[in-house]
């Protein structure tokens, strides 16, 4: 067969893409898939991070108030300021006259206390910024948690070490459910409920004893209606 004789198979068609272009396209697809995966992982890590949940990040307050000084150093009971923590869903915040019961005599002329003085003079309560903010569709009752042996530090962290109050736990749905599924290790003895520092007395048999003491039943703790009324 000479050069002038056509091939019995006919003329060969040229490929639409070159081998190099095909390889480049495959690499681009792989890179895109990896980028999407990495973005998802990064987003999940961010939304689960302490920064997103504001753990350890104290909000601005009208007065620089140190929980460490008042609770761990002066041994002031939590209920002195959060008076309704045992009887209401809301733990309560101190009224101006509660603070001035001490500070009308102690540090009364300092700049730091002047917002209290103005609050009394104008009959306008101080506006404290919330440290823990739950979604509107979540119902949380302080009194029932205290009544069932959940100490302040379990959810709020060791406030006795906090110069400025900040969130101590993420308080996410998964965090709360972990506790509701297995509350025993997280319960505290009655004497430790309002301790500003973690007291590790709940070991081995003590967990079961506390479950019985507080009459804790886990059967309905994970029902939707427990937290979502």
Q: Are 115 and 62 in contact (CB under 8 A)?
A: yes
- Is residue 227 within 8 A of residue 134, CB to CB? The reply is no
Per-residue pLDDT band for 103 (boundaries 50, 70, 90) equals: very high
pLDDT at 18: 82
The answer as to whether 86 is a domain residue is yes
- Given this model, what pLDDT does residue 45 score? 79
**Is 56 within the bounds of a domain?**
no
Q: What pLDDT is recorded for position 61?
A: 94
Tell me phi and psi for residue 129, to 5 degrees: -90, 135
- When divided into structural domains, the chain yields a total of 2
Q: Are residues 43 and 71 in the same domain?
A: no
Please tell me the least confidently modeled range out of 46-50, 217-221, 224-228.
46-50
- Is 4 a member of any domain? no
pLDDT reported for residue 86: 97
Regarding whether 178 and 83 lie in a shared domain, the answer is yes
pLDDT at position 20 is 84
Tens-place pLDDT, residues 107-116? 988 999 999 9
Owning domain of residue 20:
16-47
39 with 142, same domain: the answer is no
Whether residues 177 and 218 fall in one domain: yes
For residues 35 and 79, membership in a common domain is answered with no
Residue 136 maps to a domain: yes
Assess whether 211 and 156 both reside in one domain.
yes
Provide the pLDDT for residue 2: 55
121 in any annotated domain: no
pLDDT at 87 over 80: yes
Residue 140 belongs to some domain of the structure: yes
Tens digit of each residue's pLDDT (9 = 90 or more) over 38-69: 999 888 877 777 777 788 899 999 999 999 99
Q: Is the predicted pLDDT of residue 138 greater than 70, yes or no?
A: yes
Average pLDDT, the chain: 89
Looking at the structure, tell me whether residues 25 and 82 fall in a common domain.
no
Confidence of residue 197 (pLDDT cuts 50, 70, 90): very high
User: Is position 2 within any domain?
Assistant: no
Model confidence, pTM: 0.78
Do 30 and 73 fall within a single domain? no
SS3 call for 16: coil
The percentage of the chain sitting over the pLDDT mark of 90, rounded to a whole number, equals 72
Helix 114-122 to helix 96-103 angle (10° resolution) is 130
Same domain flag for 75 and 182: yes
pLDDT > 60? residue 137: yes
Section 88-115 average pLDDT: 92
């Amino acid at each position: 067969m000479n050069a002038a004789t056509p091939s019995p198979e006919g003329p060969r068609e040229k490929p639409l893409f070159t081998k190099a272009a095909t390889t480049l396209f495959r690499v681009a697809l792989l890179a895109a898939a990896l980028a999407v995966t990495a973005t998802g992982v990064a987003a999940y890590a961010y939304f689960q991070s302490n920064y997103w949940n504001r753990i350890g990040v104290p909000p601005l307050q009208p007065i620089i108030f140190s929980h460490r000084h008042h609770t761990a150093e002066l041994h002031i009971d939590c209920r002195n300021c959060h008076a309704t923590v045992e009887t209401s869903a809301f733990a309560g915040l101190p009224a101006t006259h509660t603070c001035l019961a001490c500070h009308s005599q102690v540090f009364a002329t300092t700049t730091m206390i002047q917002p209290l003085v103005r609050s009394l003079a104008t009959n306008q309560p101080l506006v404290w910024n919330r440290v823990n903010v739950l979604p509107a569709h979540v119902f949380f009752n302080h009194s029932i948690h205290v009544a069932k042996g959940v100490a302040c530090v379990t959810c709020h962290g060791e406030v006795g070490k906090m110069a400025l109050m900040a969130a101590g736990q993420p308080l996410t749905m998964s965090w709360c459910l972990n506790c509701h599924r297995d509350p025993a290790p997280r319960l505290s003895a009655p004497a430790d409920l309002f301790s500003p520092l973690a007291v590790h007395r709940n070991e081995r048999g003590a967990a079961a004893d506390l479950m019985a003491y507080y009459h804790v039943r886990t059967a309905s703790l994970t029902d939707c209606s427990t937290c979502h009324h």
